[in-house]
Amino acid sequence: MDEDLQSVVVHWRPGCPYCMKLRLQLRFTGLRYTEVNIWKDPEAAAYVRSVADGNETVPTVRVAGTALVNPSLRQLLAAVRTHAPHAL
């Protein structure tokens, strides 16, 4: 997969209202990102637990190696501007 797309990874799970909200908002930003369903990817679930105090708190977004647990769209875009501006 293209390295630019790997720079922003949205970890989510079905039925999560916070995930649905963030994913919908992201569709209108033009941001290049990858989505990973933690219920289908054990490694992704383990990553989320590793950055969320052992919990599977989603959405968790990895921006060029920086983890954001349940970020707002504003927080996420600020992190992208700082850590992965090429994804905008």
Residue 88 has what pLDDT?
85
- Which CATH number does the domain 3-87 belong to among 2.20.25.90, 3.40.30.10, 3.30.565.10, 3.40.1400.10? 3.40.30.10
Longest dimension (CA), the chain: 32
Q: pTM of the predicted model, to two decimals?
A: 0.90
- pLDDT for 27-59, tens place per residue? 999 899 999 999 999 999 999 999 999 999 999
Residues 6 or more apart whose Cβ sits within 8 Å of residue 47 = 11, 60, 62
- pLDDT for 76-86, tens place per residue? 999 999 999 98
Residue 1 has what pLDDT?
40
